[in-house]
Structure 1
Amino acid sequence: MKSPVYDVRPVPIEKIRANVYNPNAVAPPEMRLLEKSIREDGYTMPIVCYHLPDEDVYEIVDGFHRYTVMLTCADVREREAGMMPVVVIDKDISNRMASTIRHNRARGTHSIDLMVNIVAELVAAGMSDEWIVKNIGMDADELLRLKQISGLAALFKDREFSRAWAANTQDEQFYEAGEQ
């Protein structure tokens, strides 16, 4: 059997619909990152669908969020001329459900160590915190945590710090004398 990816076809967005069984949800920050990715890089992966010939409709097996970007972003839809890159699998409903879950679960997670290394390389390349936050889709707190995990002072070289808290010596003397 030849893999479906060798037969990507452009399908009008109006002929595509979501399935009713996908349990996957994407948090707003990741959805914004997906939207940015599609705007910046275009569609680099087709969505996976099952063709329902009686209705001439393509039901999504994987790629609902990529599909949603086209539905909600007029500029993306216009750039793509309303056509979604689709590959088709021919499976019964039970196997389509299993395929949806496999696709969702196979995406994995990011390794903290590798993310720390990427941040370090971007800082070394002269990228600002603002650039990293904007282009990698993380918030400033996450970037700070990754820098802290690295333990590399060089990652903080251009960062301004506030002064550390210092005890008021008058208060210390007051409490040491046992007065309250």
Structure 2
Amino acid sequence: MNHGRDAQPLSRIEWVHRDDLHANGYNPNHVAKPEMDLLKTSLFEDGWTQPIVARPDGEIVDGFHRWTCSGDPRIYAMTDGYVPVVRLLPPATGDQMLSTIRHNRARGEHGVLPMADIVRRLIDEEGLTPEQVMVRCGMEKEEVTRLYDRGGMTVRGTQGRTQFSNGWKPSS
């Protein structure tokens, strides 16, 4: 990380039309309808107090739900569809995913299965060690292990069988 105020991403806030941004394909964070409604109210009443974080190509790293709310006609009208954006210098995909996790974990809830997919991808495809994921995502070792292992759960549950046992079937 660069030091000094001028080197900080906030020194490069720009107003970008919302149509020039797009979601990433891995965000594990989910916001329920009541909280989305509250976020809309916050944006409408308080204005834009936090920028959206994006890559230079417009892919959102953090702020997907603020961006979604910016499509609401009342919020759109406030700035003619423009949203404040801070662009991160082009990070590697693994670094971008880590950034999304850090932003989200600091203030929200994560879906377990999408989070497990990210942990597995960071380790298997991006080459991070479990210890690096642990430190860079603020996780305990057990959490990294359980999330990484998620993909093997169904294999262990059906060893030598072609179907799940009754204990694995959800009731209707």
- SS of corresponding position for 2:61: strand
Q: Is the 8 A contact 2:54 2:60 kept in 1?
A: yes
Q: Does 1:89 align with 2:88?
A: yes
The structure 2 residue matched to 1:8, chosen from 4, 8, 13, is 13
State the alpha-carbon separation in 1 of the partners of residues 13 and 62 from structure 2. Answer: 14
Partner of 2:101: 101
- SS of corresponding position for 2:28: coil
State the alpha-carbon separation in 1 of the partners of residues 108 and 54 from structure 2. Answer: 22
- SS of corresponding position for 1:43: coil
State the alpha-carbon separation in 1 of the partners of residues 18 and 34 from structure 2. Answer: 24
Matches within 5 A, 1:127-166: none
State the alpha-carbon separation in 2 of the partners of residues 65 and 95 from structure 1. Answer: 21
Bigger Rg, which one:
1
Pick closer, same or farther for the CA change 1:102–1:79 going to 2, 3 Å.
same
State the alpha-carbon separation in 2 of the partners of residues 87 and 78 from structure 1. Answer: 21
Q: Does 1:22 align with 2:27?
A: yes
- Judging by fraction of residues, say which structure has more strand: 1
Q: Is the 8 A contact 2:29 2:108 kept in 1?
A: no
- The structural deviation recorded for 1:75 is 1.5
Q: Deviations over 1:46-93 (max 9, x none)?
A: 0000012xxxxx11000000000012x111111111111000112111
Q: Match of 2:82, as an amino acid?
A: M
CA RMSD across the alignment: 1.3
Q: Does 1:49 align with 2:54?
A: yes
The share of aligned pairs that are identical, in percent, is: 46
Q: Does 1:35 align with 2:47?
A: no
Partner of 1:78: 77
Between the two proteins, the alignment pairs up a number of residues equal to 103
Structure 1 ranges of 4+ moved more than 3 A: none
State the alpha-carbon separation in 2 of the partners of residues 60 and 104 from structure 1. Answer: 13
- SS of corresponding position for 1:86: strand
Unaligned runs of 5+ in 1: 53-57, 110-180
- The structural deviation recorded for 1:29 is 1.1
- The structural deviation recorded for 1:106 is 1.2
State the alpha-carbon separation in 2 of the partners of residues 77 and 7 from structure 1. Answer: 22
Q: Match of 1:74, as an amino acid?
A: P
Pick closer, same or farther for the CA change 1:14–1:108 going to 2, 3 Å.
closer
State the alpha-carbon separation in 1 of the partners of residues 108 and 42 from structure 2. Answer: 18
Partner of 2:170: none
- The structural deviation recorded for 1:24 is 0.3
- The structural deviation recorded for 1:108 is 6.2
Q: Match of 1:65, as an amino acid?
A: H
Q: Match of 1:103, as an amino acid?
A: H
Unaligned runs of 5+ in 2: 110-172
State the alpha-carbon separation in 1 of the partners of residues 22 and 108 from structure 2. Answer: 26
Partner of 2:67: 67
